[in-house]
Amino acid sequence: MTLVTGAKSPPIRHVEDLPDWPDRSQLSEYTGIAVQTLARWAVEGKGPRITKLGGTAVRYAKADVLEWLAQQMAASA
């Protein structure tokens, strides 16, 4: 499991670069969706499913992100 906190990592340009448990800023960098939008979607029950670690740290399972992206692409086809 890859969980990056506070360390400066290389840019996330490819799915291989996305950590197994990205935070909002990492997911935002990968998708181009603003951090604020991802936060709002989490409250509204939209977007990829979130997981709270320790009750406060929000992360996204990479598998859930990829599944959600595939659904979005299928819906817009």
Report residue 45 CA to chain centroid gap: 14
Residue 59 has a pLDDT of 97
Provide mean pLDDT across the span 55-68.
95
Residue 11 has a pLDDT of 80
Domain residue limits, the chain: 15-75
Helix (H) or strand (E) holding 58, with range, is: strand 57-59
- Taking the complete model, does pTM exceed 0.85, yes or no? no
Residue 30 has a pLDDT of 95
User: Which tokens hold the place of 19?
Assistant: 């950590």
- Characterize 10-37 residue by residue with b for buried, 16 or more Cβ atoms within 10 angstroms of its Cβ, and e for exposed: eebeeeeebbebbbbebbbbbbeeeeee
Q: State the alpha helices, DSSP H only, in the chain.
A: 24-31, 35-44, 62-75
pLDDT in tens, 1-53: 555 555 566 788 889 999 999 999 999 999 999 999 999 999 999 999 999 99
Residue 62 has a pLDDT of 97
Q: Which CATH class is domain 15-75?
A: mainly alpha
